[in-house]
Structure 1
Amino acid sequence: MRTVQSWLRETAGGLPRRFWYLWAGTLINRLGSFVLVFLAIYLTQERDFSASQAGLVIGLWGVGGAVGTTVGGTLTDRWGRRPTLLTAHLGAATMMLALGLARPLWAVAVGALLLGMFAEAARPAFGAMIIDVVPEKDRLRAFSLNYWAINLGFACAAVLAGVAAQAGYLLLFVVDAATTLITAVVIVTRVGETRRGTSAGPRVAGTPAPTGALRTILGDRVFLGFVALNLFSALVFLQHISMLPIAMGDSGLSPATYGSVIALNGILIVVGQLFVPRLIRGRSRSHVLGLASLVMGVGFGLTAFADAAWFYGLTVLIWTLGEMLNSPSNATLIAELSPADLRGRYQGVFGLSWQIAGAGAPILGGLVREHLGNTTLWAACAAIGGVLAVAHLISGPVRERRAATLRHAWRPVVPVVAVQPPAPEAAEAAAIAPAAPLAAADSPSDTVGTANR
């Protein structure tokens, strides 16, 4: 019993109350995330659109998301977290209902475009809120718990959406809109505005200037390099919703079997994600990200040899382990690479990599599969995973030095208190004492321990 209580304290203890309201909002929103799960089926079976027309609609959702995450990031920093999130959620709920009622193809396409824009505009504000309210030493746990809520809600939504669809597809849009509104009310009333003024202290050389946001981001090669690595990782990861069902169909497996196999991803995350922070505590963050890329590459690479449901299930379990290692480390690193007054825009640019991958993964995967074959596609995923692992190991020290520089640059100025000078003997001893060596990590800040950070 004491062991369980100790584990609960280490996993969820000591986090701010406002974080738990954000966590609850995530869970509520994901529990109602029906539309995206069933959108392709709704468009082709209920609305009798062709596969190409359905692809166009879903692609426009992604285009809207790319615009939304960019605009949302800017508004998060300039306008504030709360008004940006409230406007985005109100717009998303409205467009959710409009999309459910739309009939002509052009109306459905415009609805999907605007829905993607509003829905994704909320993400930078939400991410910035977590960074604002959670102390740096607890962010790994906080992002892991939020990621757990996302997957728990999504796994339940897939089941609930199937039940709701039997009563009519319009119910999916109504419930999704309702949970979006509930989430907005919870966050706006219980969390409030979290943006704080930045420190007026001197800026450390080599850190981004607080003005000229676009110029700052475009000139931040360390951050953009990390975004590029995430883009390639996302191109591999998103094959599980584009090319994996096609590969399983070629093996004679039904769509229901694909649903059961892919559900293993959510189940493993829900069961195992709560233990991940303890597993990677004190580990070099670049090593964790490198291992995550390698494991994901192996998992997707083995898909080339899969020909039965159990084998496909095994590959899903393997790349899910890599996903579980990648997500919390990714989130904490982005938080530390973002200057305090540009957090929203940095979150937006990072989210843009996912939107680009969402549009590019099915296109690139389909082209490779069509012209070079199924085996080549999954072998390429394995190769990209290996290259990403090496890239994380090489770039890790530079990223950690930048993160440490930003922490010092934006740290509040501590007033100087007059103290008695040390005795001559003590001063002499301090002058000749050797400096303690650095720990054997990428840099002094390259560990991700949550208890001693």
Structure 2
Amino acid sequence: MIGIGNFWRALPTEGRWLLSTVAVQTLGRGLTLPFTIIYLHEVRGFELGLSGGLMSLIAITGLLVTGPGGTLIDRYGARSVLLAGLTAMIAGCTLLAFATHPAVAAVALVLIGVNFGVSWPGFNALVASVVSGDLRQQYFGVNFALVNLGIGVGGIIGGFFVDVRAPETFTAIFLVDAATSLIPMALLLGPLRHVRTHADPAAGGEAATGGYLDILRTPVILWLTLLTFISVFIGYGQMEAGFPAYARQVSEVSTRVVGLSFAVNTAVIVLLQFLVLKRIAGHRRTRVMMVMAAVWAGSWLILGATGLLPDSVVAAIGVLAFMGVFAFGETLLQPTVPAMYNDLATDRNRGRVNAINSAAFQAGAITGPIAAGVLLDLDLQAWYVAVMVVGCAGIALLAAVLERRVSPTANGVPPAGEPAEGASPAESAAPAEPDTAPVEER
């Protein structure tokens, strides 16, 4: 693992462009992320269960467009697909800012979902096309830290700015979210306009169409996809719905505390991500996932305990502590899963492999808000926390199964004779496991 200065110098120009604007791009997302369900429920007056269902439309739409989006990325490249998605994002955020009826909010959230469905495979394919080797895992980790920096700063600003008694404050943050999408559009139309993410048809081989069933028949991809789904269900699927709703309805903390909790999340990620990257370099990614599962289980138990002392300083501290511990788990997960997917992909199916990753993410984001809305609406707070902890155990089990199937290289273990900095001699000298060939088109 290299330092931040050497890491930056090792990046190609396109990689530097991508990283240099990430925090600003995601500032608008941070303004709205913690407060969308609060906006729908407390400002627009929609029932909590309905609000959770509306939030799930983002993921449902994303899931529907991810498959076609991945195929289009492999056929035409990520740039064109990403530009279409960003246009939908701008329209969706603008419409949501003025949505006073559930039907209008539904249309807006569908448009936002279109962008989410294509942005994950698109940007991951873009990154994998300009960054390779060990630098790729580091890039995903640093990018994640910068994304959270933007989201965290946005969360702080939003927590102090929005007021449920003043709907115009929510209108403003959604319009800012729309405006920040213009930044990646400018990059794609300018400095990144020549980046190619798909194979050259002139090189021969099969056309980049279909192939999803063939890819999923590869056991390592299937197990990795199941692990991704559960991770999102008990993790990110709760950040926009379950966590804010629990914090407000059960722990009874203020919107300011909710906003500050996202700032704590960001601070932990920004402060620890490089240290974590150094510690996990050269070690099996599946083992890192197991540690992450244990950390997340602890975080959900902390949040559950805040419901025992609602509307108190202890509850507020517990909500902040939950986000801090959860963030540490994120620094373990985010560099590993995208890197593993892209180490298993080829230039001919990279868009579709990343689309499978995105689909698993969206599926978890669909079921997460729905489950949270139903359980909390029925006052089943203890069951809600229990489901989250059981999900963490499931992640650890899937990581153990995955370890027996993935190749050492895709699992983050360097080739013999090339130990990564931070890897122990025993880890570097571990016997090679049965290899799993990269996923190819069939």
Q: If the length of structure 2 is used for normalisation, what is the TM-score?
A: 0.81
Helix, strand or coil: the match of 1:395?
A: helix
RMSD after superposition: 3.4
In structure 2, the CA distance between the partners of 1:11 and 1:114, relative to structure 1 (3 Å rule), is same
User: Of residues 219, 232, 240 in structure 2, which corresponds to 1:221?
Assistant: 219
Q: Which moved more, 1:364-373 or 1:308-317?
A: 364-373
Asked if residue 156 in structure 1 is aligned to residue 153 in structure 2, the reply is yes
Which consecutive residues of structure 1, in runs of 5 or more, have no partner in the other structure?
A: 1-5, 409-437, 447-453
Cα–Cα, structure 1 residues 211 and 441, in superposed 2: closer, same or farther, change >3 Å?
farther
Cα–Cα, structure 1 residues 187 and 441, in superposed 2: closer, same or farther, change >3 Å? farther
Please tell me whether the aligned partners of residues 145 and 274 of structure 1 are also in contact (alpha carbons under 8 angstroms).
yes
Quote how far apart the aligned CAs of 1:76 are.
1.0
Confirm or deny: 8 A CA contact 1:61 1:116 kept in the other structure.
yes
Unaligned stretches of 5+ in structure 2? 416-427, 437-442
What's the counterpart of residue 32 of structure 1?
A: 28
- The 5 A counterparts of 1:20-419 are 20-33=16-29, 34-162=31-159, 165=162, 168-192=169-193, 193-197=195-199, 212-237=210-235, 238-248=237-247, 249-306=249-306, 307=309, 308=314, 309-367=316-374, 373-400=380-407, 403=410
Letter in 1 for 2:215: I
- Cα distance in 2 for residues equivalent to 1:262 and 1:182: 23
Does structure 2 retain, via aligned residues, the 8 Å contact 1:25–1:184? no
Give the secondary structure class of the aligned counterpart of 1:190.
coil
Post-superposition offset of 1:58: 1.9
Matched letter for residue 190 of structure 1: P
Normalization by structure 1: what TM-score? 0.79
Structure 1 residue 81: deviation in Å?
Answer: 1.3
Amino acid at match of 2:274: L
Q: Is the 8 A contact 1:72 1:123 kept in 2?
A: no
Whichever of the two has the greater Rg, that structure is 1
Deviation readout 1:133-154 (Å, 9 max, x if unpaired): 0022210111111101110010
Contact 1:164 1:171 survives alignment (8 Å):
no
Given the superposition, is the C-alpha separation of residues 160 and 284 from structure 1 closer, same or farther in structure 2, using an over 3 Å criterion? same
Give me the whole-angstrom Cα distance separating, in 1, the residues matched to 2:320 and 2:151. Answer: 19
In structure 2, the residue matched to 1:432 is none
Structure 1 distance, partners of 2:33, 2:251, is 26
**71-80 or 297-306: bigger deviation:** 297-306
Deviation per residue, 1:105-159 (Å, 9 max, x gap): 3233222212211343222111100000002221011111110111001011123
Letter in 2 for 1:328: P
Q: Distance in 2 between matches of 1:370 and 1:53?
A: 10
What per-residue deviation string (whole Å, max 9, x for no partner) do you get for residues 279-334 of structure 1?
A: 11121222112211222123223433344233443333323212111110112101
Measure how far apart 1:48 and its partner are. 3.9
- The alignment covers a number of residue pairs equal to 407
Could you tell me which amino acid in structure 2 is paired with residue 289 of structure 1? Answer: M
Contact 1:369 1:376 in 2 (8 A): no
Equivalent residue number for residue 440 of structure 1: 430
Q: Distance in 2 between matches of 1:318 and 1:325?
A: 12
Q: Tell me the percent identity.
A: 24
Asked if structure 1 preserves the Cα contact closer than 8 Å seen for 2:48 and 2:373, the reply is no
Distance of aligned partners of 1:263 and 1:224 in 2 relative to their CA distance in 1, 3 Å threshold: same
CA distance, structure 2, for counterparts of residue 374 and residue 51 of structure 1: 14
